[in-house]
Amino acid sequence: MSVLVYVEQVDGKFKKSVFEAVSYAKAIADIQGSSLTAISIGNVGEAELKELGKYGASKVLNVSNDQLKNFVNQAYASVIAEAAKKESAAVVVLSNSFSGKGLAPRVAVKLEAGLVDGAVELPKLDGGQFLVKKTAFSGKAFAITELTSAIKVIALNPNAFGVKESAVEATVEAFSPEIKATDFTAIVKEIVRATNKVSLPDAELVVSAGRGLKSPDNWGMIEELANLLGAATACSKPVSDADWRPHSEHVGQTGIAISPNLYIAIGISGAIQHLAGVSSSKVIVVINIDPEAPFFKVADYGIVGDAFVVVPKLIEALKAHKG
């Protein structure tokens, strides 16, 4: 019996959320007195794979296959399920990232496993029950879910557990499961990036702005701040509804839900529907001219001030710092 964790790579590199998922899976393996295996799909170098040992993965299954170079939901789910069977995994952990949200239910179906997505804590074993706390109702509530199946699939919310080191020596093993043609009914042929900007769903830093910016012409300073920080840009719903910004930047209950390390909200009131998509960010900074704006109630840091004064000062300070 073991615990399996899927380690998602982007251009051959692992992001922080992967190390967090490995740390979380290692803690579950410790609770169960079992070992932790990671499964990596795509072209990742040996040194990068061995790095997973730092967070507790004693074995890394490496699937390097040209057919799987680009993300194919159904095929990746089959590979993860095959790895779980090979390792006799009792628990499979994924990050509840953009791709994790698509993979976790598919893996669960293939393994006839119970699934908890959006997990925020380690499972509790209570009188034979396997209980997992997860977010519910767009982050407005928590639910305790009991998994009763033999195999359990858990998708961990980014920033819910943190990265914890637990160094072991990781051995890397090539893994070549049989892949069926039926897993390739929809194939990504080419990825053409629309922009060079950081992609929002998995961004670790996000600069977001709302109707307080008054006009689409005022987004230059938001983009400049984001570029200086290496952050993605986001916006509130009315802003994308008015076509000030593309709909792909709309965050919240009806937009994308994100959990970056840092979310800077500029000229956004903090309506409950907006908070539903951003409140699990690790650190929230709010810049708003109205000291009564509801966003300040959930902010870690708040600046009461005019965005058109504060943001240029931030840009100036960042430039000075970088210089």
Binders of ligand FAD in range 2-21 (CB under 6 A): none
- Which run of H or of E encompasses 101? helix 98-110
End-to-end C-alpha distance for the chain, whole angstroms = 53
Nearer to ligand FAD, 42 or 277 (CB): 277
HSE value, Cβ hemisphere, 13 Å, CA-based, for 189:
1
**Are 121 and 132 a contacting pair, CB within 8 Å?**
yes
Q: Where is 228: in which H helix or E strand?
A: helix 220-229
Binding mask 184-213 for ligand FAD (x = CB under 6 A): --------------------------xxx-
Closest contact distance (angstroms) between CB of 303 and ligand FAD is 9
Say how many residues touch ligand FAD, by CB under 6 A. 26
Among 187, 306, 317, 319, binds ligand FAD (CB under 6 A): 306
What secondary structure letter does DSSP report for 251?
B
Site for ligand FAD in 283-302 (CB under 6 A): 287-290, 293
Smallest gap from Cβ 301 to ligand FAD, in A, equals: 15
Structure tokens at 173: 């093993």
Q: Note whether 269 binds ligand FAD by CB under 6 A.
A: yes
Among positions 212-251, residues that touch ligand FAD (CB under 6 A) are 212, 236-239
- Which DSSP string do the residues of 37-70 spell out, in sequence order? EEEEES---HHHHHGGGGGT-SEEEEE--GGGSS
- Give the C-alpha distances (Å, rounded to integers) separating 113 from 25, 107, 108, 134, 144: 17, 8, 5, 17, 17
20-59 positions binding ligand FAD, by CB under 6 A: none
- The answer to whether 260 contacts ligand FAD (rule: CB under 6 A) is no
Tell whether residue 254 is a contact of ligand FAD (CB under 6 A): yes
> Interface with ligand FAD includes 114 (CB under 6 A)?
no
Per CB under 6 A, residues contacting ligand FAD are: 210-212, 236-239, 252-255, 267-269, 271, 273-274, 277, 287-290, 293, 306-308
